[in-house]
Structure 1
Amino acid sequence: MLCSDLLIELEKPLSSSTPHLPEKQCQVVKKEYHEFLASTVQFLHEVQERQMLWHWGPYSPVFNALVWMQGLWASRQANNQNRSFIEQQMGLYSATGCFGKSQEVLRRDVELVEYMNDLIDTFN
């Protein structure tokens, strides 16, 4: 199942021995980060479209999967590192130096969690 595969990947400790990547590598890191977020938003949009069509309730498997996904992104209890996915991403991307002192990773991740929260609210 995709969710369990993601969870296994998230359980792996983060390691980054390079304090700052060269600009060319940073362009790739930023591009892949934005593509990852865009894919996640597209997935949530597809769920939202189907929710508008089917009107699932709070006892549906889709609702449970969204709540699990939201918890994975925003909760420290979803994995044994006691760090949310957002915190893990911030640590990973901060170590690259590609985003400078910008809080872009935090801001965009929080926006994504807010979208998940709004989508979850449509199940009630």
Structure 2
Amino acid sequence: MNNPDDVRFNNPYSEKESLSKLRSFLKATQQADALILLQKAEDKANRDSEYRILLGNVLKFGSTLMYRELFSPFGDYWERSRETFPYYPHSDAVNAIDSAMHKIKLGLDMEAAADEYNWLHNHNSDRCKALAAQKL
């Protein structure tokens, strides 16, 4: 239960459940860069106990700024635009994870949220077809 004096919206799920829900949503919405970034963070957490604690805290209490900081060892959120697509791969991946965690914390129907995302972003796109070919 959230403390009414705390403006954060706490995650009711365990770290394991959160990671599972997060991976499932990112796969369903074909966000390969976000899945790769999440895997890098999990690998680092398995090697570094301090990072493991940080990952758990951010999954439980994280804000947008906390996600940017959590994933900073893997890229610069504020990097300049690249010449070719994807123009902002690291920041797009961080934003995808942050958005998915927001949906998880709100207890939304993740299947319906994924369907809506795909309808808005992946409908008849070349990117959707290319990602499907990679069999996420």
Query: Given the two structures, how large is their TM-score scaled by the length of structure 2?
Result: 0.28
TM-score (ref. length: structure 1):
0.30
